[in-house]
Amino acid sequence: MEQGFQLFPRQASTFATHVDRLYLFLTGISAFFSVLIFGVIIVFAIRYRRRPGHEAIQVEDAFSLEILWTAVPAFLTLGIFVWSSSLFLYQSIPPKGARDISVVGQRWMWKIQHSNGRREINELHVPSGQAVKLTLTSQDVIHSFYVPAFRMKQDAIPGQYRTLWFEATTPGEYHLFCAEYCGTNHSRMTGRIVVMSDVDYQSWLGGGMEHTPVETGKQLFTQFDCASCHESGERRRCPTLGGLYGTQVELESGQKVLFDESYVRESVLDPNAKVAKGFPAVMPSFRGQVSEEQMLDLIAYIKSLAPQQQRELVEGANR
């Protein structure tokens, strides 16, 4: 990790140089205009001070001057808007094929699970040179996932899923902070990001013999007896879930909602909030029975169900 005094943290992600460039531009332009304005105030105060024999004159019709001081700031601010919003969009939309990792903030630690099921706490191992997508939520209060070297910060909000992505460029260790006051040990809610070469990461990832989120989700699906209703073909009282992920679900009201992480989560905790059209509101709530980590596993399992798989299950039940 970095040593001694540094004006900027190290640049260790693909965003870092872009963010720093924009930051330096904003600082530079603010400094330039501050110096200009204060310089002119001082020069004019001396040059045009009250003296005997000098009268103030009212200046009128300075049209070109008006245009100048309207157009210059307008173009500058528009330029800043375009520049910063394109950077914001670049940071907001994870590229396809990014490696999925889930992060749950809980007073006062970060719980992380990789796509093969390997878990860690307050440490995040990632390969360098690859896009990594984090799905972020909180078990209790608002936390904020902050990695200065990546120029990346995102709130972890209870009841919501936020995604963020990055591509680490340089192997090494970097600080992870919680950047939202979350109680007594907020200042200790820190960790480290370990960026490794792809080969090292693969061997690290293989080091833990654990179930993948999909496998754990499947177990939970059985444990909570979801299948008794959601998978049987004939006595089907609930929608089959295969292939639904990412599609639009029609509700009784005719309104359509996206079947995504948030919809699954809401339907597990508050099943009657948005019941799919044509189905009775018979599902019990699982509030208090499913932790945020289990919820992410359940979602991973439901996500993994292909339409075909579900059709086979249904056909199997019909036979």
Residues that bind ligand CUA (CB under 6 A): 105, 108, 143, 178, 180-182, 186, 189
Nearer to ligand CUA, 103 or 298 (CB): 103
Look-up: residue for tokens 């040990």? Answer: 185
Nearer to ligand CUA, 122 or 232 (CB): 122
DSSP bridge partners of 153 = 146
Q: How far is the CB of 91 from ligand CUA (least distance, A)?
A: 22
Rounded CA separation 29/25 (Å): 6
Neighbours of 86 (CB within 10 A): 11
Nearer to ligand CUA, 164 or 302 (CB): 164
Of 262, 305, 302, 269, which Cα lies nearest the Cα of 284?
A: 269
Q: How far is the CB of 186 from ligand CUA (least distance, A)?
A: 4
Q: How far is the CB of 136 from ligand CUA (least distance, A)?
A: 12
Rounded CA separation 266/263 (Å): 5
Q: How far is the CB of 144 from ligand CUA (least distance, A)?
A: 7
What is the phi-psi region of residue 210: left when phi exceeds 0, alpha when psi lies from -120 to 50, beta otherwise?
A: beta
Nearer to ligand CUA, 140 or 215 (CB): 140
Q: How far is the CB of 149 from ligand CUA (least distance, A)?
A: 19
b vs e for 143-181, b when ≥16 Cβ sit within 10 Å of the residue's Cβ?
bbbbbbbbbbebbbbeeebeebbbbbbebbebbbbbbbe
Q: How far is the CB of 307 from ligand CUA (least distance, A)?
A: 40
Nearer to ligand CUA, 162 or 186 (CB): 186
Which ranges in the chain belong to alpha helices (H)? 14-47, 63-92, 198-205, 213-223, 227-230, 261-269, 292-304, 307-318
Neighbours of 208 (CB within 10 A): 12
Q: How far is the CB of 98 from ligand CUA (least distance, A)?
A: 25
Rounded CA separation 213/114 (Å): 8
Paired tokens of 237: 């009282």
Nearer to ligand CUA, 180 or 293 (CB): 180
| Polymer length in residues for the chain | 319
Nearer to ligand CUA, 125 or 143 (CB): 143
Q: How far is the CB of 162 from ligand CUA (least distance, A)?
A: 14
Paired tokens of 57: 């004159």
Rounded CA separation 277/7 (Å): 57
Nearer to ligand CUA, 158 or 233 (CB): 158
